[in-house]
Structure 1
Amino acid sequence: MATSSSQTLALQRNSSEQNRFIEKLMTKICSFYDEQSLIDVTFKVSNPTAFVPAHRLILAAASPYFENLFNDNQGTNPVVEINDIDSDIFERLITFCYTGQALITVNNVAAMLNAAIVLQLDDAISSSVDYIMTHIDEYTLQGAYTLERETQCEVLRQKIIEYETQNFMEISRSDEFLNFDVEKLQRILVSDNLNITREEDAFDAIQRWYNYDVPARQEQLPLLIACLRLTQFNVDFLMTHIQPLPGCELLAFKALSWIREPTVRPMINMRFTEPRGVSATNCNEKTILALCSELGMNPKFLQYSKTEDKWQEYASIKLDYAGYRTILKDDNLLFIGGYKNRVTHKVVRSWNIRNKTWQNLPSMIQARTSHCVVELDDKIYAIGGYDGYNDLSSVERYTTSDGWEFVNGLIVDRYDASAVTLSNKIYVMGGYNGNWRELKSVECYNSDSNNWTPCADMKTCHSSPGVAAHKGHIYVLSHNGAERYDPQLDTWSQICSLEVGPGWMSCVSLDNKLWALGGKSKSADKSCVSVFDEENSCWVESCSLPESIVRNCFVVPESLLSSM
């Protein structure tokens, strides 16, 4: 009989007893492996041909790849062929499943990382990435860049960004820096932890990058200048260095107004107004802002206090229409589309979180409700939805320079779907098509080719699910269940479901944890809040929201909510 959760918790209370038990258990398991005792599966691995014995239960516990393999018909065979991993690397990773350790070298780390990604060994991925970053002088930063592009490994990408942020001065003087794309530079420059002694250092680096190819980079320059803490420059620097740059006049004007006229600061919409490195005043701390509304009209914003584990009201706003979709853009929430009195709208409005003020933006080309909105490469995408008569496949995107323009449409018309961005691509999943026919289908958009391609179907139909990119995977949650997508393998796997009733759901990645908000509590007319415990594959309840329906939620700096 399986151990119940209450028995597990009781065992965990006596940690020293538990540790002795686990140590004894693992010692015995490793001896079985060394002696090839009780083996129940053998892998035939090519390049060169080798036979690697193992225990199914251990491998299935270590990796969802093996769990899925052994649940498949092929996995019941006593000998399983592996053709896309070198035998030496495969054997090292099988050993890792037993010991949590593997011999990693500069020469094999790329192959180890690739194989760990295929085998879905998250700890081995982390070990490989940590090895690369601690041996970066031997492996070279260029090698790390190349490997990240080849593997699309999110863990490696984040570690490289951390390295670039910490070693910015050295990297900005390298030849590699001159070939950074604008998205990479933006990710580095926005960091509050950028390791510079003065803001002028970041400006000098931008100038060096810009002067390397002025004609091709002139339009991108304002995107980078906007990442600077412009209010930290003096008036003379702003007028002589920032204002003359093409496309940066408005940025300079806002910073000058901020410095010269403190009384009008609440009316100035600036991305950054504080200096870098002020984390002592919690400017780096992030929290959740939840948009709640019973029918969509007149929503209320609730902010979460992590220290007190409670929700409190941040603001209430008046809206006389519903069916809009919201997205966070810098310090603003954009309300896109919707309907009123059964008429679908194109309207786009921006609500500044800091100042609690409204601004109208250019309307969409197509009226939409029940659509998806995401941001990719500083562009806002409105995807699919319903126009009041038909479900839509059309997609349009917005930039401040070009306004709204159509791009290639979806393969399948859909409304009440959800979308998320990961590894510079957009993924749209679920929803309805036609006469309330629920969908399992998923499609992916590549902005470079302007094309949508089909992905593996979800295991369950989901409409208006909560979706989030978290640790290189996509999570989809609804009252129908929960599942996780691996973009490397194009596979879905089910995870522990939330014990909630029907209702809107949202999810976000905060503090390296997956948070789920929404779905009716079975004990009260409130929305549940849960955090996913990945190690034990279960959901842990947090403080419930006092509102019954969560329409969306966003991760924002705590300083943004306490600035007024």
Structure 2
Amino acid sequence: MATSCTQRPALQSDSSGQNRFMEKLMAKIFSFYDEQSLIDVTFRVSNPTALVPAHRLILAAASPYFENLFSGDQGNNPIIEINDIDSDIFERLITFCYTGQMLITVNNVGAMLKAAIILKLDDAITSCVDYLMSHINEYTIQAVYTLERETHCKLLIQKIIEYETQNFVEINQRREFLNFNVEKMQRILESDNLNITREEDAFDAIKRWFNHDVPARQEQLPLLIACLRLTEFDANFLLTHIQPLSGCEMLAFKAMLWIRDPAARAKINMRFTGPRNFSKKTLLAVCSKEFGMNPKLLQYNKVEDKWQEYASIIFDYQLCRTILKEGNLLFLGGYKSGATSNIVRSWNIRNKAWQSLPALDTARWEHCVVELDGKIYAIGGSADTRKRVLASVERYTTSNGWQFVNKLIVGRYAAAEVTLNGKIYIIGGKSGRNDLKSVECYNPNSNTWTSCADMTECHYYPGVAAHNGHIYLLGYFSGNRNVERYDPQQDTWSKICSLKVGDGFKACVSLDNKLWAIGGNSGSIFSGKNCVSVYDEENDRWGQKCSLPETSIHSCFVVPEALLTSK
């Protein structure tokens, strides 16, 4: 009598002895198969006709298909007909039942997968799908999509979604993408692992898909827009791009309310309010003891609240300006060897490689640089060491290079720049020996500068950031630790809680819906720690985070965490 499950012997404590036993047992089974000994079933397979001998017990243990087959009416027949699988493929899968291995090629993987699905060989299905996805460039993504439609294989569907999610930037440019159904689009866009560096990439993909067949997809558009991390957009983007879309008005309104009124968030019903895993942001600080020369890049670990070095850069220009654009740090202008420069160089954060870009028309240092709508603006600054002030403004586009636009109302250097609601704000600075309170706003649509309300006091080299629909400014020197807030709707400045830090350059950024002040020394400007503070808006106070290990901050950027993961 066979041993029942409840009477099965316990595992031996000597695992090596048990392994030897299993190896001997499997070797004997393989030899029975190779020698066709003790065969108790033979399959007659068509296309081409072949006879494939086997052992019922082994096949039934390997697959519920064979277990059910042998329990059915023809289960005791010595010869069983198989008509829906090619003989070569069938024989390979029978061998798989004995060895757990099979020879898969680009030419046979499709037929192998279809047969494995029929025979309910789950491990063989997994092997086929893994092979497909690791050889997708040889098999082609088009062929994989065809196989998905023919087999409806759940594992293949899952792996394709993972592939599309990981390679979304490339996939959404393919012709096949335009024919994705809305359910597939939702599965991809809902993923926290969607591999994009900014949420606008997902929005642009939705637009491309939607525009391919607007009448048929009009009602489906809100379903996809709701999959976006809408709170990652600023208010201007929501007003300009989301609110005008039919059926998306309330989505835009909720997102704007979430951004502008933290106290109301508990009452707002939104599907997604946090960033994606690949879109999770952190801080990248550019630190230099020599006014921007040869900077170190420090990345912030939010989980452990600590800073660590990401890279050191050799770049020997003082008081150049640095901006972040599409995964690159752009260094513009500056001062070297007694002369002002018009150099523009790009340093790729991921690849850590330099590239030269078209030079500025005007050499300048202590100037402002900002990006708006994909265009780069170089604004004001000093023309030479005599502080000859510049009011000129030049704009760079890939199609036209650098071109001058309307100049500032008041030429200035050592000012700060920020964008908000589709406009550029230039704040404070110096004009000759005079410190400035004045603020100017540039409208790119009309190519005009207009004066805004003055700050409550003068600031030069301030740190500024747009945050929750306002502009925040951090003072530079001690005695000027005040923090000011600008309301663009009311055109008014007001003071908020002052920073409890001393002299030093400060950067100001908005991260995770909080305002961060990076810099300002706890001791002297040369020996103290470079502080990091986070503003508690509800209680109007600043909390402290881990200080920077370097003593001078040049600039700081909010970047995707994935960007700092080297290839």
Higher Cα Rg: structure 1 or 2? 2
Contact 1:189 1:202 in 2 (8 A): no
Describe how 1:178-197 pairs up with structure 2 within 5 A.
189-191=200-202
Distance 2:486 2:207 in 1: 37
Deviations 1:140-185 (A, max 9, x none): xxxxxxxxxxxxxxxxxxxxxxxxxxxx969x9xxxxxxxxxxxxx
> Are 2:373 and 1:399 aligned?
no
TM-superposition CA deviations, 1:246-297 (whole Å, max 9, x none): xxxxxxxxxxxxxxxxxxxxxxxxxxxxxxx9x9993121000000001121
Q: Give 1:438's match in structure 2, choosing from 427, 432, 435.
A: 435
Which among 306, 320, 328 is matched to residue 324 of structure 1? Answer: 320
Percentage identity across paired residues of the two chains: 61
Which of 538, 545, 562 is the matching residue for 1:542?
545
Q: In structure 2, what is the Cα distance between the partners aligned to 1:169 and 1:513?
A: 35
Instruction: State yes or no: 1:205 paired with 2:210.
Output: yes
Cα distance, 1:558–1:187 mapped onto 2, change above 3 Å: closer
Aligned to 2:521: 520
Q: Among 278, 282, 287, which residue is 2:277 paired with?
A: 282
- What corresponds to 1:353 in structure 2? 349
TM-aligned CA deviation for residue 208 of structure 1 = 5.6
Question: Which residue pairs with 1:304 in the alignment?
Answer: 300
The one-letter amino acid paired with 1:430 is: G
Q: Is the 8 A contact 1:291 1:551 kept in 2?
A: yes
Q: How far, CA to CA, are the matches of 1:202 and 1:327 in structure 2?
A: 28
Write the mapping of 1:405-416 to structure 2, written as runs, cut at 5 A. Answer: 405-416=403-414
Equivalent position of 2:189 in the other structure: none
Instruction: Give the whole-Å Cα distance in 2 for the aligned partners of 1:499 and 1:400.
Output: 43
How many residues in Structure 1 have an aligned counterpart in Structure 2? 309
* TM-score when normalising by structure 1: 0.52
- Residue 322 (structure 1) shift: 1.1
SS of 1:354's equivalent in the other structure is coil
After TM superposition, give the deviation of residue 189 of structure 1 in Å: 4.4
Quote the Cα distance in structure 1 between the aligned partners of 2:430 and 2:320. Answer: 17
Task: Output aligned runs, 1:242-321, within 5 Å.
Answer: 282-295=277-290, 296-321=292-317
Matches within 5 A, 1:474-485: 474-478=471-475, 479=477, 480=480, 481-485=482-486
Secondary structure of 2:409's match? coil
- The amino acid that maps onto 1:445 is Y
Following superposition, the deviation at residue 341 of structure 1 comes to 1.3
SS in 1 for 2:283: strand
Equivalent residue letter for 2:493:
W
Q: Deviations over 1:427-486 (max 9, x none)?
A: 00100001x211000010000110000000000111110000000000000141110000
Q: 1:187 to 1:287 in 2, by over 3 A?
A: closer
Does 2:553 match 1:559? Answer: no
CA RMSD of aligned residues (A): 2.6
Q: Which whole-Å CA distance do the structure 2 matches of 1:561 and 1:472 have between them?
A: 28
Partner Cα distance (1:187, 1:411) in 2:
34
Supply the distance in 1 between the matched residues of 2:182 and 2:410 (Cα, whole angstroms).
47
Please tell me whether the aligned partners of residues 198 and 279 of structure 2 are also in contact (alpha carbons under 8 angstroms).
no
TM-score by length of 2: 0.52
Q: One-letter code of the match for 2:488?
A: P
Name the counterpart of 1:472: 469
How do residues 57-96 of structure 1 correspond to structure 2 at under 5 angstroms? Answer: none
Cα distance in 2 for residues equivalent to 1:416 and 1:203:
42
Distance in 1 (CA, whole Å) between partners of 2:434 and 2:395 is 27
Cα gap change, 1:346 to 1:495, in 2 (>3 Å): same
1:500 deviates by: 1.5
2:427 counterpart (416, 426, 429) = 429
Deviation at 1:347, TM superposition (A): 0.4
Cα distance in 1, alignment partners of residues 466 and 336 from structure 2: 32
SS at 2:208 equivalent? helix
CA distance 1:188–1:529, change in 2 (3 Å): closer
CA contact (8 A) 2:199 2:279 kept: no
Give 1:203 deviation, angstroms: 3.5
Contact 2:367–2:415, Cα closer than 8 Å, also in 1? yes
Question: Are residue 452 (structure 1) and residue 449 (structure 2) matched?
Answer: yes
1:496 aligns with 2:497: yes
